[in-house]
């Protein structure tokens, strides 16, 4: 269920004009964990509208952070990602940072 809901926000249907204007999405403080993060990462791979994503305070661990990092290698639309106060440990934080380190103007908040 979460995967479909997140996907519909990040990847609007071509006929859905309502969602086409969503550029900032805050999912902070939802304790989405690994499964939720993986669903968000999947949607980020095909995201065409969201430029700012707040995933702070969500119990995102290392596995979730790695999924986000892999999605960021594909996603060129996102310009701001907030991941503060998660449990991704050094490995997850480093993977996310490495995925965006060459993107000029990218705002990563860990």
Parse the chain into domains and list their residue ranges.
2-109
Instruction: Kindly state the tokens that stand for 99.
Output: 């995925």
- pLDDT, mean of residues 79-103: 97
What are the pLDDT digits (tens) for 5-20? 565 556 555 555 555 5
What are the pLDDT digits (tens) for 23-62? 999 999 999 999 999 999 999 999 989 999 999 999 999 9
- pLDDT, mean of residues 93-110: 97
Burial 46-70 (b: 16+ CB within 10 A, else e): ebebbeebbbbbbbbbbbbbbbbbb
Q: How confident is the model at residue 22 (pLDDT cuts 50, 70, 90)?
A: confident
Q: How confident is the model at residue 81 (pLDDT cuts 50, 70, 90)?
A: very high
Under DSSP, the state recorded for 29 is T
- The dotted CATH code for 2-109 is 3.80.10.10
Residue 26: phi and psi, rounded to 5, are -110, 115
Distances (CA, A) of 24 to 1, 28, 47, 66, 80: 21, 12, 12, 22, 9
């Amino acid at each position: 269920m979460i995967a479909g809901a997140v996907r519909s926000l990040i990847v609007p249907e071509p006929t859905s004009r309502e969602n086409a204007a969503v550029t900032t999405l805050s999912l902070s403080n939802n304790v989405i964990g690994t499964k939720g993060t993986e669903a968000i990462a999947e949607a980020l791979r095909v995201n065409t509208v969201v430029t700012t994503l707040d995933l702070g305070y969500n119990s995102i661990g290392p596995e979730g952070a790695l999924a986000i990092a892999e999605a960021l290698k594909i996603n060129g639309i996102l310009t701001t990602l907030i991941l503060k106060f998660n449990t991704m440990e050094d490995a997850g934080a480093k993977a996310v940072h490495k995925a965006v380190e060459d993107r000029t103007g990218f705002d990563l908040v860990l």
